[in-house]
Amino acid sequence: MREVVVAANWKMHTTPADAGALARTIAARTREPGVTRVICPPYVCLAAVGAALAEADADVAVGAQNVHHELAGAYTGEISAPMLAGLATWVIIGHSERRRDAAETDELIGQKLGRALEAGLRPILCVGEQLAEREAGLATEVVDRQLRGALAGRDPVATRTGGMVIAYEPVWAIGTGRNATGADAAAMADAIRTSVGALGWGDGASEIPVLYGGSVTSTNIDTFFAEPSIDGALVGGASLKPDEMAGIVARAGMTARARDLAG
């Protein structure tokens, strides 16, 4: 039975002065058995969020939004995986905004994934196509290429043991007003597991949690959790709103309970 995960990506929002209070509020309003909760604040808020959650709800994990592909060096402004030790237990890898704004390549993302796993950080590997690629019928091909770039040559057992999660982010559905359907997400989740299976994972690919990320809200989350192949959500803007997070995690809890009864 695959893990149900809801991860909050706060992006470039909050400060050390207010992040802890927001994390405590979200933690208090999202206590759902069977749901793995992760909050990913900006780097400068990791310590504040970690301290707040240690007091309020230690079951909520802390994640970073990015990590560098080298362990150390002359990389001004960057953060390496060893630097995150004690501050985070998860990390987002290859988010669409990193691919777009920092020109991160599939190869670079693969290197980051390796560093995260070496440091004991659970990676949320993000993949997804642009609008033009979907309209050209290339969505599955693009996501397959991204997965191969990140995972080719990587030991499937070690990667699975490291707790990797994959988030499907259709870039055309992020902040555009256009929404993917549950069927869109489910079809891509199946394609993701097929691609991973072809990389030497075999049946182990079926065990990978696949999250949906793309303008997720408490209003539209039901259509995604209604799909058996979707195991959670990577939440952007809505993750800054306790009401929204409460609704999303409550729906995730329903899925977790249904799976527990069925399993």
- Predicted local distance difference test score (pLDDT) of residue 177: 65
Q: Which of 32, 133, 169, 244 is catalytic?
A: 169
CA 109 from centre of chain: 14
pLDDT(79) > 90: yes
Asked about 55 being catalytic, the answer comes back as no
Distances (CA, A) of 94 to 47, 69, 161: 23, 11, 20
Whether residue 124 contacts residue 167, with contact meaning beta carbons closer than 8 Å, is answered with yes
pLDDT(82) > 90: yes
For residue 61, what is the enclosing H or E element? strand 60-64
Asked about 13 being catalytic, the answer comes back as no
Give the whole-number percent of the chain exceeding pLDDT 90.
93
* C-alpha radius of gyration, the chain, whole number: 17
Model pTM?
0.96
Indicate the fold that domain 4-262 takes in CATH.
Answer: TIM Barrel (3.20.20)
Q: Which of 95, 97, 129, 244 is catalytic?
A: 95
Per residue in 7-55, pLDDT (tens digit) is 999 999 999 999 999 999 999 999 999 999 999 999 999 999 999 999 9
pLDDT(176) > 90: no
